[in-house]
């Protein structure tokens, strides 16, 4: 009699268990994709020396140096995990500068810095608040007329003698409309809206780099922000003017120092862009510099260790001062990309470290332009932040 052979079943198909397992599997997949996306860089760069202009991996690229491209990184080769930006930088050489400059800045639109009340025969009223306007809004036009100054705003409010006004404004980068009804002030009989606005500013900064091929320049390493709303100021026009250095307020713990100077009357250039990563424009004459044109470093080339900055803190010309790059961040912060410390005794005796007005001072390491000084650490003026030069160049090339 033939013995019955028993076999073990290593897998048993159970529809009920499969249904229960599906949500768990899906959750694990989502978590895995999220973790993988964090590990994927936000941008990639290609070495133009090894990139073929005809084919990449056997596929026609159609790309050229200097173009921006977008890629989708995929998990396991088919699950979209993250979209990343890439760039193809040309072998760009720029002149590191370090000279100070004065800037006169006029806004596109007017920035609401505060909302107030108006005492009228009808009582104490805030027409602006009733219209839904808020601190930080930018008024662009009223009744179809462009508004770029406090005088423009006051003039149109007076001319319409209390009639309803159609306001076009922006908030957080989005456009909105409102209806504003000014009231007559019982104090002086003038029609008022209960608005405080800013239309201009002025300050001192340092030129980061200059391109002798076209006269373009970059400075500050950060944007020009409204001091009350802390919003990036929209640029209508800006002038670069000559600056006469007068004094240095040394930085102390808890009290950032400052370069003091007075503006001259000679226009030396024009601002074209105000961005989170710096200001950009053209100069009519080349700035003072002690450096030859240098190659620009990629983020991956910046390293901890010795470096130096170029700046003119005493009005006696651009000089180099030693620093150390202490920490490098790998996040997506636009301007605070690495920490620097001043270790040059001469600069420490002059300024106490990093002071206002030094923003934009170029940072050079291993013979390359790697970034610019952006901010000081308030509690320790010997330390501050730097921005990658790569971020500044990328921002300069954006059209919006």
- The rounded distance, in Å, linking the Cα atoms of 163 and 151 is 18
Residues labelled catalytic:
222, 344, 359
Question: How far separated are the first and last CA of the chain, in Å rounded?
Answer: 88
CA atoms within 13 A on the CB side of 9: 4
222 CA to centre of own chain:
5
Q: Is the dihedral of CA 201, 95, 248, 258 positive or negative?
A: positive
Annotate 141-161 with three-state secondary structure: EECCEECCCHHHHHHHHHHCC
- The rounded distance, in Å, linking the Cα atoms of 208 and 362 is 5
- Residue 15 φ then ψ, to 5°: -60, -40
Q: Which tokens belong to 353?
A: 């470290």
Kindly provide the b/e burial profile for residues 311-345, where b requires at least 16 CB atoms within 10 angstroms of the residue's own CB.
Answer: bbbeeeebbbbebebeeeeeeeebbebbbbbbebe
Q: Which tokens belong to 202?
A: 């002025």
- The rounded distance, in Å, linking the Cα atoms of 382 and 375 is 11
- The rounded distance, in Å, linking the Cα atoms of 235 and 108 is 5
CA angle 70, 76, 79 (to 5 degrees): 55
- The rounded distance, in Å, linking the Cα atoms of 215 and 235 is 20
Q: Which tokens belong to 344?
A: 């040059």
Q: Are strands 294-295 and 305-311 parallel, antiparallel or unpaired?
A: unpaired
Q: Which tokens belong to 273?
A: 């862009």
Annotate 45-90 with three-state secondary structure: ECCCCCCCCCEECCEECCCCCCCEEEEEEEECCCEEEEEEEEECCC
> Is the separation of the CB atoms in 306 and 322 below 8 Å?
yes
């Amino acid at each position: 009699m033939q013995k019955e052979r028993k076999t073990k079943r290593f897998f048993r198909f159970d529809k009920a268990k499969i249904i229960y397992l599906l949500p768990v599997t899906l959750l694990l997949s989502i978590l895995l994709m999220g973790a993988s996306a964090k590990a994927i860089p936000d941008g990639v760069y290609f070495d133009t020396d090894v990139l073929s202009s005809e084919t990449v991996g056997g596929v026609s690229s159609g790309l050229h140096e200097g173009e921006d491209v977008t890629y989708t990184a995929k998990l396991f080769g088919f699950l979209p995990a993250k979209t990343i930006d890439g760039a193809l930088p040309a072998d760009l050489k720029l002149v590191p500068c370090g000279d100070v400059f004065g800037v006169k800045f006029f806004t596109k639109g007017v920035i609401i810095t505060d909302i107030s009340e108006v005492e009228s025969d009808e009582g104490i009223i805030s027409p602006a608040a009733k219209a839904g306007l808020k601190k930080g809004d930018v008024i662009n036009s009223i009744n179809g007329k462009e508004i770029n100054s406090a005088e423009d705003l006051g003039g149109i409010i007076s001319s319409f003698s209390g009639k309803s006004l159609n306001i076009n404004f922006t908030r957080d980068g989005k456009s909105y409309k409102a209806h504003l009804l000014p009231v007559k002030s019982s104090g002086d009989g003038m029609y008022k809206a209960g608005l405080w606005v800013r239309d201009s500013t002025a300050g001192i900064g340092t030129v980061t780099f200059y391109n002798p091929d076209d006269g373009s320049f970059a400075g500050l390493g950060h944007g020009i922000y409204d001091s009350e709303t802390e919003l990036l100021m929209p640029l209508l026009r800006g002038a670069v003017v000559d600056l006469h250095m007068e004094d240095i307020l040394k930085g102390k713990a808890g009290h950032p120092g400052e370069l003091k100077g007075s503006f001259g009357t000679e226009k030396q250039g024009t601002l074209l862009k105000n961005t989170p990563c710096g200001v950009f424009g053209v100069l009519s004459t080349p700035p003072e510099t002690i450096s030859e044109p240098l190659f620009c470093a990629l983020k991956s080339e910046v390293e901890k260790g010795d470096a130096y900055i170029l700046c003119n803190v005493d009005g006696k010309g651009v000089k180099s001062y030693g620093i150390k790059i202490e920490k490098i961040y790998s996040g997506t912060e636009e301007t605070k990309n690495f920490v620097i410390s001043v270790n040059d005794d001469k600069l420490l005796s002059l300024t106490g470290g990093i002071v206002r007005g030094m923003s934009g001072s170029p940072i050079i390491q291993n013979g390359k332009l790697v970034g610019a000084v952006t901010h000081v650490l308030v509690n320790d003026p010997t330390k501050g932040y730097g921005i990658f030069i790569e971020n500044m160049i990328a921002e300069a090339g954006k059209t919006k």
